Homo-oligomer: A and B are copies of this chain.
Amino acid sequence: MSDGKKIVIIGGGAGGGTAAQFARKTDRKSKIIIFEKGKYAQYSKCGLPYTISKDIDDIYDLIEFSNEWFLKAGIDLKLNSKVEKIDINKKKITVNKDNKTFDESYDKLIIATGAKPSIPPIKNIIENDKIISGVFTLRTIDDAKNISIYCSKSKKAVIVGAGLIGLELAESLYKNKLKVTVVEALPDILANTLDKDMSKIVFDNITKFVDVITDHIVTRVESESGKIKKVIIKDNKTGKEKEIVSDIVIIATGLIPQTSLAKDIGCKLSNKGYIIVNEKCETSLKDIYAIGDCTEFINFVTKNPTPIGLGSIAVRQGISAGINAAGGSYTLLDGVLQTCTSRFFELEIAAVGSCNDKLIFGKFNGSSLPDYYPGGKQITIKVFTDENGKIMGAQAVGDNAAQRINTYAAAILGGLDIEKFRKLETAYAPPVAPTLDSITLVCDIISAKLRRR
């Protein structure tokens, strides 16, 4: 298998770093180079909000694989190295480091260029092509450090966007004793993750700690002497404006895939601008793989194109691309399950698969323990099936939402239908779980619905 090939990876994030590791495991003799435009070795982006909250003491703990680690593994990690061009005919790339450019050849190329924060059209936040002081996005270690510093001299914050990151940041800033207001353009929070009725449970919990204003867009920011003073928001329905006094603004309104390198070489992109990859992370171009936030694959359930957008999937793609680029063979599942979770103010949420309003659904509100045992916590589960009862997706809010949703992920992977899954024997013991867990009780509701049809 070892033919001393040269594998070049653009981007040293979770996907790129993992790809390098698995390429190395697959072929001990290959030459592996990662070009990372940032200054840090492979770290967890998902951990960044928890450095601001101080749940994680030392931000550098997020670095999961250090420069030394890569060195030992025989992987050449080049930091501060921006790839400017790919030449697919000559199989080489042009790299800019310290304002000098040089070429590097490759046999196999892995594009892991990720995504950058999307910036909505808010007036007064861009000056000289740069975001003004006091307005932040969160994507890198330096972003997190800058937010932490700015927080320490701030009292009030506005977070733009009530998605996963927005709400994680809301908690982080609350823990910094800031008065936090989250502004969401859509009528509901977490709209990409949960149904309205499910996200309502989260809304009711987080609004005990922070203000959340939905169905409003942020129109402009007003500053005085270089300091932010107010954020002006507009009601989507009435058009009425109001102002929120604030010292700091954090924008968390999603990501834009960084695909200009891929686009320039004619790599097939989706309508939404993501690099289209298959279950081996191959792109439309020979010897070129792509992984992570810059890519799009199909959804396991619907088979519809789905942007990746989750670190957990980027890592799995990294495994696949790394092994395949190095001459091994690793095929991902036939689509992404999009299993995801987070926790806001002690309340856990999770979701998997496809949950849309054309499907049959059932919802159940249960307890994590039998009624007679003290300390039971609420768990709400909503499950979606097609008209034959095949499980398509699930959402959970409350006790052990993530692990409960993992069971649904396995059910979807196994192609289980609701009639079989509702008979699943779940583990029962009074201090641990009830005789019949909510994950199966919810199925009885769907089963009854299906029989009535």
Contact = CB atoms under 8 A, between A and B. Distances in A.
Contact of A350 (B405, B406, B423, B427): B427
A430 B47 contact: yes
Interface stretch (A95-103, A135-143, A407-415): A407-415
A107 to B, nearest CB: 25
A352 interface: yes
Interface string A436-450: 110100000000000
Contact of A427 (B339, B420, B429): B339
Nearest to A279: B423
A421 B415 CA distance: 12
A340 interface: yes
A403 interface: yes
Contact of A370 (B44, B423, B437): B44
A414 B414 CA distance: 4
A197 interface: no
A69 interface: no
Interface stretch (A210-218, A236-244, A358-366, A371-379): A371-379
B400 A435 contact: no
A56 B352 CA distance: 35
B403 A407 contact: yes
Count this chain's copies in the assembly.
2
A399 to B, nearest CB: 9
A120 interface: no
Contacts of A350: 427, 432
Nearest to A14: B435
A50 interface: yes
Contacts of A429: 46, 164, 340-343, 402
A340 B433 CA distance: 10
B432 A337 contact: no
Contacts of A415: 414
A220 to B, nearest CB: 33
A408 B407 CA distance: 8
Contacts of A332: 423
Contact of A424 (B372, B402, B409, B439): B409
B409 A425 contact: yes
A431 B345 CA distance: 11
Interface stretch (A73-81, A151-159, A281-289, A306-314): A306-314
Contact of A373 (B50, B315, B403, B433): B50
A387 interface: no
Given A402-B432, A407-B406, A56 B372 contact: yes
Interface string A1-26: 00000000000001000000000000
A346 B401 CA distance: 20
A36 B372 CA distance: 22
A84 interface: no
Interface in A130-187: 164
**Among A50, A403, A409: residue with most chain B CB under 10 A:** A403
A426 interface: yes
Given A414-B411, A427-B350, A436 B50 contact: no
Contacts of A250: none
Contacts of A401: 427
23 contacts: A47-B373, A50-B373, A55-B374, A56-B430, A311-B428, A311-B435, A312-B426, A312-B427, A312-B428, A337-B424, A338-B425, A341-B429, A341-B433, A342-B429, A343-B429, A403-B433, A405-B427, A406-B407, A406-B427, A406-B439, A409-B425, A410-B421, A414-B416
List 9 tightest A-B contacts by C-beta distance, closest first.
Answer: A414-B414, A403-B403, A341-B427, A312-B428, A402-B427, A410-B410, A61-B372, A339-B425, A337-B425
